[in-house]
Amino acid sequence: FAERVNKNKERFIARTSHEFRTPLQGLTASIEALDISDSQQLTKQQALYCVNRLVAMLDELMDLQQLTSGEWQLSFTSSNLLSTLKQAISPYEYACNDKGITLSVNLAESLNKEVSTDHARLTQIVAEIINNAVKFTPSQGRIAVTAACQGEQHFVMEIQDNGKGFEKPPTDLLSYENDSEQHFQGLKTGLLRVMHIVKALKGEIQFLNAEPQGVKVLINFELESTPKSAMPAPLPQALHCLIVEDNPLNATILGRMVSHLNYSFDVAENGLIATDKASDKHYDLIFMDLNMPVMDGFKAIDIIRNEQGQQVPILVVTANTSNEDLQRVYELGANLHVYKPISLDSVQKALSILFTESSQG
């Protein structure tokens, strides 16, 4: 009975995440596409910040499901460490400005290099801690973020605020789970997830009460240097892509991103049309949705790989966060996946990974 309840819970979380991610895709891309005056940029930044917080909460739900089921794992990629940290911090410039908080950021030049780590999880760590610092820091307060690489591979980061502080700083996962006075708000899984990620990275995290008040969070872990042979390959100059997406708005949004990269594309409304197009025409890349009428993305990938024998890179673009489904698409032959809502940056990063792997293989 307990196993059945857990299974139903996992399906509910995955389904809820899917239903929210699909409209958020349209919302995110529509906001990013707004061509507005400089005086209105703050409003645009505010809207994107709010959407990104919704996405972060969906990610938190998904991680909660994976953590409780024992399916959680790291996913290492190679990327510029300084860029990762800047992208994690920048959304909170608006939040601090809106609340009257001074955000001081000092990122050392030693971070400006390609490293292999779970960049997405590192982003979550930074975002979670800064987000909660904003919540607990009063107007006219201050948040300071510093980070550097000590030597070649040792990453250190400190995030300090002058807010409420801990009544009792957590020392480990167990003490946090048993603490009713948790400093972290939201869905109550934020700090738990941060501690799991740092532990998985074989790192250390400390939560200290700062003087005269506030919280100081110290993080350190070892990085893996990226060999020159593993450096990201430049994106191809020309690609002809197939976008497989049943939602017209999402297809338009993705098409706009592909066009921005100066690539050409066709659109297929379902998997059946996609397999027909793939058999009649050469494509350099296929963007594949999963949940579609007539024929879903699973069957389409199976046909393209195993019946047509094509090796064209397939990038799954999905709102489906079920681990079972993602495992299945990789078994069928997909190369990579990105979650909706996507952005131009996430598409470029995915393509960089895809074509770096293809250039080495």
pLDDT tens digits for 146-180? 999 998 889 999 999 998 776 665 655 444 444 44
Determine the Cα–Cα distance for residues 161 and 145; give it in Å rounded to an integer: 9
pLDDT confidence tier of residue 353, bands split at 50, 70 and 90: confident
Question: What are 249-302's pLDDT values in tens digits?
Answer: 889 989 999 999 999 999 999 999 999 999 999 999 999 999 999 999 999 999
Which pLDDT score, from 0 to 100, does residue 102 have? Answer: 95
Strands 285-288 and 314-318: parallel
Nearest alpha-carbon partner for 107 in 126, 124, 125, 91? 126
84-138: pLDDT as tens digits: 999 899 888 888 988 999 999 999 999 999 888 888 889 989 998 998 899 889 9
Q: Is the dihedral of CA 275, 317, 240, 314 positive or negative?
A: negative
Alpha-carbon separation of residue 90 from 15, 46, 49, 116, 349 (angstroms): 30, 12, 10, 22, 18
Q: What is the pLDDT of residue 110?
A: 94
Give the C-alpha separation, 112 to 110, whole Å: 5
Q: Which residues pair with 146 in a beta bridge?
A: 106, 158
Largest CA distance in the chain: 70
Under the phi-then-psi rule, with left for phi > 0, alpha for psi from -120 to 50, and beta for the rest, what region is 100?
A: left
Residue 26 DSSP SS3? helix
Residue-by-residue DSSP string for 239-284:
-EEEEE-S-HHHHHHHHHHHHHTT-EEEEESSHHHHHHHHHHS--S
In angstroms, rounded to a whole number, what is the distance separating the alpha carbons of residues 216 and 319? 36
Contact 13, 65 (CB under 8 A): yes
- Give the strand pairing for 215-222 and 336-339: unpaired
Give the count of beta carbons closer than 10 Å to the beta carbon of residue 358.
13
**Collapsed DSSP state (helix, strand, coil) of residue 1:** coil
Strands 142-150 and 154-161 turn out to be: antiparallel
Task: Note the pLDDT of residue 47.
Answer: 84
Instruction: Count the Cβ atoms, other than its own, within 10 Å of residue 318.
Output: 23
Question: What pLDDT does residue 178 have?
Answer: 47
Strand ranges (DSSP E) for the chain? Answer: 77-80, 102-107, 114-117, 142-150, 154-161, 204-209, 215-222, 224-225, 240-244, 264-268, 285-288, 314-318, 336-339
What are the structural domains, with CATH classification, of the chain? 2-69 (1.10.287), 77-229 (3.30.565.10), 231-360 (3.40.50.2300)
- What dihedral do alpha carbons 233, 120, 328, 319 form, nearest 10°? -110
**Could you give the CA distance from residue 127 to residue 54 in angstroms, rounded to a whole number?**
13
Asked if residue 166 lies in contact with residue 143, where contact means CB atoms within 8 angstroms, the answer is: no
Q: How many CB atoms within 10 Å of residue 82?
A: 18
The pLDDT score that the predictor gives to residue 175 is 46
Is the model's pLDDT at 187 over the cut of 50? no
Task: Please tell me the distance from the alpha carbon of residue 204 to that of residue 215, in angstroms, as a whole number.
Answer: 16
For residue 78, CA distances in Å to 108, 142, 223, 269 come to: 19, 33, 11, 33
